[in-house]
Amino acid sequence: MSAEGPNSSGSGDVPTVLVKDSQGLQLLCFLEQLIPLDGHDYALLTPVDTPVCLVRIAADEDGEDEVIEELDGAEAILSVADVVLQEHDLTLVRSAVTLTVSGELDEPDLDELEDELEGEDDEDDSDLYEMLIQFRSGDQEYGLYIPLDPFFVVARLEDGIGVLVEDEEFERIQPRIEAELDERESDG
């Protein structure tokens, strides 16, 4: 049940699915798991391109960096990020679900990251990000950060196309998908 799409990562025969959101934005993803529920096929997917998040960097050391969730008013900032990424032969893509970066990226060295984390007394290691680029727009510093935890997308498959599961539908099926995945993991 996978849609054939470009396989830009060279990862062989991993099926890809094109996901669309309610605004018509698209994101090409690898199919990780297929979960049948309520007569629909739901897919657990990972983006082909690298997901990134836009962060407003605090002006002083005591301030907190802020992840910018709502990108509607951020086009001027994203345009600056476009230029900086092009200098590294990378492209910022305004995809469904998340911003992504396409191009050849160096993979984070997980052993090095684990060494850095040893000794740190962080209660929540799930918010780990690696800075991809830092840039200035106006009088503010920003960065594009890569989440180090896997980035999953949930979509409902319809005629080989993934329809992003959002809002109430996501709230309704997320626990059931997690339960199914836990059961599969314990069986395997």
Q: Of all residues in the chain, what percent carry a pLDDT higher than 90? A: 60
d(CA 101, CA 121): 31
H/E run at residue 95: none
Tokens, residue 73: 């008013």
**CA nearest to 97, candidates 163, 171, 16, 177:** 163
Confidence category of residue 72, pLDDT binned at 50, 70, 90 = confident
Domain boundaries, the chain: 16-47+150-187, 50-147
Q: What digits encode the pLDDT tens for the residues 16-40?
A: 999 999 989 999 999 999 999 989 9
Strands (E), 120-179: 129-137, 140-147, 153-158, 161-164
Burial class of residue 4, CB neighbours in 10 A (0-12, 13-18, 19+): exposed
**CA nearest to 98, candidates 44, 49, 169:** 49
Q: What is the pLDDT of residue 70?
A: 87
Higher pLDDT, 6 or 155: 155
Confidence category of residue 160, pLDDT binned at 50, 70, 90 = confident
Q: What digits encode the pLDDT tens for the residues 98-150?
A: 999 999 886 655 555 555 545 444 444 435 889 999 999 999 999 999 998 88
How many Å is the maximal CA-CA distance in the chain? 54
Mean of pLDDT over the chain: 84
CA 12 to chain centre: 21
What does DSSP say about strands 16-20 and 50-56: parallel, antiparallel, or unpaired?
unpaired
pTM: 0.78
Higher pLDDT, 78 or 121: 78
